[in-house]
Every structure is written in structure tokens, then in C-alpha cells.
Amino acid sequence: DSGVTQTPKHLITATGQRVTLRCSPRSGDLSVYWYQQSLDQGLQFLIQYYNGEERAKGNILERFSAQQFPDLHSELNLSSLELGDSALYFCASSVQIGRGEGPLHFGNGTRLTVT
């Protein structure tokens, strides 16, 4: 158990809809990262938050947004969903102090299916 909790585990929705994925980081971890894994693809970095602030962005679509709350949990919002958004969405957390070299610890992901 990595200590990172993601909900829900599975989500099925229709095109055009909006969903929210939730992540609770490990206790004490200040950084939260979101990744997308499409079929047979590697993990694509979407966005990083550190202590409530957005710090790094990857290839995140404008239809997607995220935030990290004061209690450090994070939410990834996906809107105007398209079939191609079907993927596994992973959240990861780390202590990330300065230029720390600690690993990221991943949750078990949310599987999103857009029909």
C-alpha cells in the first residue's frame, strides 16, 4: 500500500460530460502529481502541485484542470469529455523538498471510460 488514495476506482460516463477525480496524498507529502496512461502507452505527465500551488505542467489539455486544497488532497477535473480521454489516471505524491531525490508514490489509479 503506497498510502496514496484515489477515488473512484472506476468511472463510466458519456461524451460531453464532466468528471472529478480525487486524490489523497501520503501523510506528510506536499507534492501531488497527475499522470494519464492511455492504452499501451507510458505515463504522461499532466500537472504538479506543491503545497497548494501549481508548479509544473505537462501536456494537459485546456479541458482539464486541477487543484490542491489546504488539506493537500487534490482533484483533477475533466470536462467536455471525448472518447479519447478514456484512460487510467494516476495520482502520485512525494515529499519534494527543494531538489529532493525521493521517489513518487503512486495510487492505484482511476479508470475512466468515456462512451
Partner 1 sequence: DQQVKQNSPSLSVQEGRISILNCDYTNSMFDYFLWYKKYPAEGPTFLISISSIKDKNEDGRFTVFLNKSAKHLSLHIVPSQPGDSAVYFCAARGYVSYNTDKLIFGTGTRLQVFP
Size, binding site for partner 1 by CB under 8 A: 32
Cell of 86: 478514456
Q: Does 36 bind partner 1 (CB under 8 A)?
A: no
Q: Does 97 bind partner 1 (CB under 8 A)?
A: yes
Residues 52-71 that bind partner 1 (CB under 8 A): 55-56, 58
Dihedral sign of CA atoms 47, 51, 52, 55 in order:
negative
CB-based burial, 5-23: b 16+ in 10 Å, e otherwise:
ebeeeebebeeeeebebeb
Which residues contact partner 1 by CB under 8 A?
Answer: 2, 4, 30-31, 33, 35, 40-45, 48, 50-51, 55-56, 58, 90, 92, 96-99, 101, 103-109
